[in-house]
Structure 1
Amino acid sequence: MTRRPPRRIPGITTLPTSGAGMRIGLFGGSFNPVHEGHLLVMAETLRRLELDALWVLVTPGNPLKNNAGLPPLAERVEAVRAAVSDPRIRVTGWEAERGFTYSYETIRHLTETLPDRRFVWIMGADSLRDFHRWERWRDIARTVPMAVYVRPGSRQAPASRAAVALSRWRIDEEDAGRLAMMRPPAWVYLHGRQSALSSTALRAGQ
């Protein structure tokens, strides 16, 4: 496993504060750049999962993508902070301070050090499509409940390799508000408002 060197950046890599029993969504990504689609997922999952907070984890880089030309972490964190207005949404580059490369490291650390919080992993349907390529993806599913939000062009995501493997633990959308309190594995596929914007398309149009 390749591990990134830890990087502490004051005001950027601080972990948000929280309290016992809080329902906290974890929404990771490179956010290069942040766009309306990201903001829609944040707003909809906060509401439909009945979360107390949502932590946006701006990653140092995606291990499944070419990170050449990726803007500095602090720049991306500040851009997301400028784009959100809901005080329940907290934006951090905390993973860099720990030197984490993979999502399972983040999830394992948070659930072990903050066992009295109710974490939910949030991702777009495009990520579910490739979830089987993630490092230790089965461990992620066994550690935290997961919410997947529909994205344009990802109609086949519910039939993806990981989705099929985890199908027995998929819950109905009407039960999404209880997801944070469920014992993993448990996941929900959320349909709703969508944005055609993508970071890839936005970069291509620059």
Structure 2
Amino acid sequence: MGLLGGSFDPAHAGHVHITKAALERFGLDRVWWLVSPGNPLKSRGPAPIEDRMGRAAKLMQHPKVQITDIETRLGTRYTAQTLAALQMRYDGVRFVWLMGADNLAQFHQWQDWQEIMARVPVGVLARPGDRLAARMSKTARMYRESRLIGRAAFTLGQATAPAWSFVNLPMNQMSSTAIRKAGRWTSDAVVADASGA
């Protein structure tokens, strides 16, 4: 099962794009969007979680994708804590952490990042402007022997950690930051953008 964490402030078509790609490219049976209480690496707090959950649920309507606030219910704040709690709660479920290439570029700044790599396989989806920085990152260099390349990426969901894969996708330029800056942070605007209206 893929786990795509983030503030989703707001959720947008780019999130939908990488989620569908992750299901297909990494051989996943399901994906959970983990709508976080807040990002420890960001100084500004997100919109209320109820608003973000509602917008995400309107936007991401797919039978294999579930929107959840489980981090809030678990009381975890960092990814490593969340993964440990999920693995304890869902014994036997094979989790894969999903993230954009922008996150891989600074992954070594995450709390307990090496524990994350040791716990679960990691699927990295290329986003605009972050490919080179991600591929040259400390994490990519340190775990180069654990990378699944080409068609092997499809086996990521069954791989034993540490394992990771980096896939290039047709790009969707939308970002939550750009949406907030443009003042389009409303449910109807985000859903309209996602549908191409």
Is 1:186 the counterpart of 2:186? The answer is no
Aligned residues: 182
Query: Contact 1:40/1:193 (CA < 8 Å) preserved in 2?
Result: no
CA distance in 2, matches of 1:118, 1:89: 16
**4+ runs deviating over 2 angstroms:** none
Is 1:83 the counterpart of 2:59? The answer is yes
- Mapping 1:126-145, distance limit 5 Å: 126-145=102-121
- Alignment equivalent of 1:150, drawn from 126, 130, 141: 126
- Could you tell me which runs of 5 or more consecutive residues in structure 2 were left unpaired when the two chains were aligned: 184-197
Is 1:59 the counterpart of 2:36? The answer is yes
Q: What is the deviation of 1:43?
A: 0.5
Letter in 1 for 2:125: Y
Structure ranking higher in helix proportion: 2
- Could you tell me which runs of 5 or more consecutive residues in structure 1 were left unpaired when the two chains were aligned: 1-23
- Alignment equivalent of 1:41, drawn from 18, 23, 26: 18
The Cα offsets for residues 140-162 of structure 1, whole Å up to 9 and x where unpaired, read as 00000010000001022110111
Q: What is the deviation of 1:115?
A: 2.5
Q: What is the deviation of 1:29?
A: 0.4
CA distance in 1, matches of 2:178, 2:5: 19
Letter in 1 for 2:73: E
2:187 aligned residue? none
Query: Contact 2:74/2:85 (CA < 8 Å) preserved in 1?
Result: no
- Alignment equivalent of 1:164, drawn from 122, 132, 141: 141
Q: Structure 1 vs Structure 2: percent identity of aligned residues?
A: 37
CA distance in 2, matches of 1:182, 1:115: 16
What secondary structure is seen at the aligned counterpart in 2 of 1:118?
coil
TM-score after normalising by structure 2 = 0.89
The Cα offsets for residues 61-117 of structure 1, whole Å up to 9 and x where unpaired, read as 00000233x211011011111001211100011101121110001111112232211
2:172 aligned residue? 195
1:95 aligned residue? 71
What CA RMSD, in Å, does the superposition of the two structures yield over aligned residues?
A: 1.0
The Cα offsets for residues 114-169 of structure 1, whole Å up to 9 and x where unpaired, read as 22111100000011011000000000000000100000010221101111111111
1:26 aligned residue? 3
CA distance in 2, matches of 1:173, 1:145: 16
What secondary structure is seen at the aligned counterpart in 2 of 1:157?
helix
Q: What is the deviation of 1:187?
A: 0.3
CA distance in 2, matches of 1:173, 1:79: 34
CA distance in 2, matches of 1:189, 1:115: 27
Query: Contact 1:147/1:189 (CA < 8 Å) preserved in 2?
Result: yes
Letter in 2 for 1:141: M
